[in-house]
Amino acid sequence: MFKNILSNKLLKQSVVYDYKKLSSLYCCRTCLHDGKVLSSPRSFFGVEDFVDDDNSRPYTYQKQKKPKNLHKHVSFKQRTIAYMEPFTLDVFISKRFVSASLTHRVTCKQVAVAGTNSKDIKAVLKSRSDVPACLAVGRILADRAREADVYTASYTPRERDRFEGKIRAVVQSLIDNGIDVKVYLDR
């Protein structure tokens, strides 16, 4: 009897001591489990497994392209072209509308945007996707680019686009209205 009371008293003291010391750990000192941990600390959703070291936010995984050849030489032009010619022209023409924008390569911010879907251009034009609409978009884009102090841009057509017709009309309108556009046709 005395041995039983003494073991219960020691058991209670060890559990209380362990609970104060390791608040998230529950240990049982009976002979059934031999002092092994019965359960590990868990949250309701199990988020603790996916939190940063300082418990501030969940891990954010960034998908980055891994180069195929780690020792591939990158030319000076490839490294500096984004800074030497920082603005690119993007032209999109669909069956219903035309839009064009000038984007800063390094910061990816759009400096000037024009399109035939905007209210001021939509009211004036007869059709939103013909060559005169392309010329109007080029003229308005050139005005907005000059307001943003952009006077040069580079343009590389997409693989499916040919540099003729409506796309050429937008680029030619930009050139006629004072924006120097460098066109790269060969790939």
Residue 136 placed within a domain: yes
- For the entire predicted model, the pTM comes to 0.59
The three-state secondary structure class of 101 is: strand
- Flag whether 116 is in a domain: yes
User: For residue 161, how many other CB atoms are within 10 A of its CB?
Assistant: 14
Question: Is 71 within a domain?
Answer: no
Query: Do the domain assignments include residue 77?
Result: no
In a domain, 21, yes or no: no
Q: Domain range spanning residue 173? A: 84-185
Residue 138 class from Cβ within 10 Å (0-12 exposed, 13-18 middle, 19+ buried)?
A: buried
Q: Look at residue 47 and tell me if it is in a domain.
A: no
Total number of domains constituting the chain: 1
Per-residue pLDDT of the chain (187 residues; tens, 9 = 90+): 555 554 555 555 554 454 445 444 444 444 444 555 545 555 444 445 455 455 555 545 455 566 677 777 888 887 888 788 899 999 999 999 999 999 999 899 999 999 999 988 888 888 898 999 999 999 999 999 999 999 999 998 888 888 888 999 999 999 999 999 999 887 5
Determine, yes or no, domain membership for 134. yes
Between CA 60 and CA 50 the distance in angstroms is 9
**pLDDT for res 152:** 94
Residue 6 in domain: no
Q: Are 98 and 131 contacting, i.e. CB atoms less than 8 angstroms apart?
A: no
Place of tokens 């800074």: 83
